Amino acid sequence: MEIIKIFDTTLRDGEQSPGASMNTEEKIKLALQLERLGVDVMEAGFAAASPGDFEAISRISEVVQNSAICSLARAIPKDIERAAKALEKAKQKRIHTFIATSPIHMEFKLKMQPSEVIKRAVEAVSLARSLCEDVEFSCEDACRSDIGFLKEVALAVIEAGAKTLNLPDTVGYRLPQELGNIIKELKSCVGDLAVLSVHCHNDLGLAVANSLAGIQNGARQLECTINGLGERAGNTALEEVVMILKTRKDIFGNLDTRINTKEIYASSKLVADITGIRPQPNKAIVGKNAFAHESGIHQDGMLKNRETYEIMSASDVGIPQDNGLVLGKHSGRAAFKDKLASLGFIELTQDALDSAFEKFKVLCDKKKEVYDEDIRALLTEEVTKIPQVFELLALQISSDSNGVPYAAISIQKDGISRIDAAIGNGSVDAILKTIDRISGYNGVLKDYKVEAVSEGKDALAKVVVKAEFEQNKPAFIGHGLHLDTLQATAKAYIGALNSYLSMRSLIIK
């Protein structure tokens, strides 16, 4: 059996997807899930990009034991040194440095001659190698680079100490046969001197096909993300390439990965819950309809033999077969803890478990049926908490005699309750304005999403907001979970504010 390494970049490239930014606690939670999933390498961030990225990489390095932790770094000494510093506590560490090699990038972005690019690449890899045993080098926009120049760069960086050579289709331009030929050419040049890697973007919907073409022509590392998350049209979807290799053994023979496929669905759900970006219903492997059958002909075939219309089983990727009522208000802590373990929450602190159990009991009193997805949402909210500078105590929505809505809100800070009210153009606007008045921070709402967590009229509402608290500065995501959508909205907006304040404290430090 020959192993294809899975290099997951959900925490770095995936987070570059508009609206997908994560706070440090959310990144740690996702990193632990990626470890359970079995990824060989996880790119935890870009250490030099921000204090938040540096802290996330550092803390992930402390808690993850079985996957290599990687930081991206430009081919600049300060970036590489920052990456090495962030990775100090990692049991297995990798520095991933890069520079563009295509004519258009060298001329217009870098304004460098090819000889200068090679010199910079070699210097970067040499420095990284002096700080870290495992170094990966990427030729940015490799698939629009001159093949002769690619070979020259490849041999130079390998001699300087790079163990992995990544050849990304940065703009998703190539067709599978074209990309396969590029990998084949490079493989014939470098042989076994380094592991060849492919990192494909999905601008033409070909990321997965191109990645597979790379494997078939000698690549032995795949760079991908959960749900295909990523900037523009996204990246190669981890769940798709892994299940293709597993399902089509007739084509890929003895090639396999170390991925525990039964953790795929849990990983997909967690990424969707944290980012608020859900896969489309017909998304392969993890979409809501991926294993659904409505056609009468299909249903008849399924009843006779599932293999008539399913080439894999939902259970293979960890999709629960039964989403019925699982626990109730009379359930005890032991049963609750056991249920959490079955849902993948196996590393909870006692405080997190106690808090989640109390929320579960409150939910049971209010909700007719409690589903697995309700419990999963409660736990995701609990384990990704950031420091609560402001905390919602109470919310009341009403309207005056003219029907103009207003919100009265009580918020706690430093143990002191603060109460205020404001009118708005609608209930949501009134809530946000009131929170701004109480907190003293004026946010600008950039995005607002509401969805039902499970099924039924009494389903928990999950609200995701994206708000900007400083002009021309990054916006922050907040999550709110409640049976009442407006309560969830207030919690989500305060969550975004707390994320902003948490990040600002890192910058001040």
pLDDT at 65: 96
**pLDDT, tens digit, 9 for 90 and up, residues 3-34:** 999 999 999 998 888 777 788 889 999 999 99
pLDDT at 218: 98
162: CB partners within 8 A, 6+ apart? 125, 129, 135, 136, 137, 194
pLDDT at 288: 84
pLDDT at 309: 63
Helix or strand (DSSP H, E) at 340: helix 333-342
pLDDT at 89: 97
> C-alpha angle with apex 294: 291 to 300, nearest 5 degrees?
95
Does the annotation place 146 within a ligand binding site? no
- What CA–CA distance (Å, rounded) separates 169 from 200? 5
Strands 476-482 and 461-468: antiparallel
pLDDT at 15: 86
Backbone φ and ψ of 416, nearest 5°: -110, 130
In the structure encoding, which two tokens stand for residue 480, read together? 């709110």
**pLDDT, tens digit, 9 for 90 and up, residues 296-333:** 544 455 456 666 667 888 889 998 765 444 577 777 78
- Of 18 and 261, more confident: 261
> C-alpha angle with apex 465: 459 to 468, nearest 5 degrees?
170
pLDDT at 353: 83
- Of 506 and 440, more confident: 440
Find the helix packing angle between 350-366 and 333-342, rounded to 10°: 100
Q: Are 463 and 485 in contact (CB under 8 A)?
A: yes
pLDDT at 160: 98
- Of 451 and 86, more confident: 86
CATH of 391-508, one of 3.50.50.60, 3.30.160.270, 3.40.50.80, 3.90.550.10: 3.30.160.270
Is-same-fold flag (2-275; 391-508)?
A: no
> What's the chain's Rg over C-alpha atoms?
24
Q: What is the mean pLDDT of residues 143-153?
A: 98
Helix or strand (DSSP H, E) at 92: none
pLDDT at 506: 66
**Residue 163, pLDDT above cutoff 90:** yes
pLDDT at 302: 47
- What CA–CA distance (Å, rounded) separates 299 from 303? 6
Confidence of residue 293 (pLDDT cuts 50, 70, 90): low
pLDDT at 509: 52
Helix or strand (DSSP H, E) at 318: none
**pLDDT, tens digit, 9 for 90 and up, residues 394-444:** 999 998 878 899 999 999 999 999 999 999 999 999 999 999 999 999 999
Closest by CA to 29, choosing from 17, 48, 11, 53, is 11
Confidence of residue 294 (pLDDT cuts 50, 70, 90): very low
DSSP letters, 173-221, are: ---HHHHHHHHHHHHHHHTTSSEEEEEBB-TTS-HHHHHHHHHHTT--E
In the structure encoding, which two tokens stand for residue 274, read together? 């944290």
Domain ranges of the chain: 2-275, 291-321, 333-369+376-383, 391-508
Does the annotation place 298 within a ligand binding site? no
pLDDT at 488: 95
In the structure encoding, which two tokens stand for residue 363, read together? 């939910």
Strands 255-256 and 405-413: unpaired
pLDDT at 297: 47
In the structure encoding, which two tokens stand for residue 205, read together? 């919907």
In the structure encoding, which two tokens stand for residue 498, read together? 């707390």
Backbone φ and ψ of 363, nearest 5°: -65, -40
pLDDT at 298: 46
- What CA–CA distance (Å, rounded) separates 63 from 59? 7
**pLDDT, tens digit, 9 for 90 and up, residues 187-242:** 999 999 999 999 999 999 999 999 999 999 999 999 999 999 999 999 999 999 99
pLDDT at 342: 73
**pLDDT, tens digit, 9 for 90 and up, residues 265-283:** 999 999 998 888 889 989 9
Q: What is the mean pLDDT of residues 321-348?
A: 70
Strands 391-399 and 405-413: antiparallel
DSSP letters, 249-310, are: HHHHTTEE----GGGHHHHHHHHHHHH--PPPTT-TTTSTTTT---SHHHHHHHHH-GGGT-
Which has the minimum average pLDDT: 64-73, 81-90, 331-340, 444-453?
331-340
CATH topology of domain 2-275: TIM Barrel (3.20.20)
- Of 346 and 241, more confident: 241
pLDDT at 355: 85
Which has the minimum average pLDDT: 315-319, 347-351, 411-415, 487-491?
347-351
Helix or strand (DSSP H, E) at 359: helix 350-366
pLDDT at 146: 97
What's the mean pLDDT when you consider all of the chain? 90
Q: Which pTM value belongs to this model?
A: 0.82
pLDDT at 346: 67
**Residue 508, pLDDT above cutoff 60:** no
Does the annotation place 105 within a ligand binding site? no
Does the annotation place 13 within a ligand binding site? yes
pLDDT at 324: 45
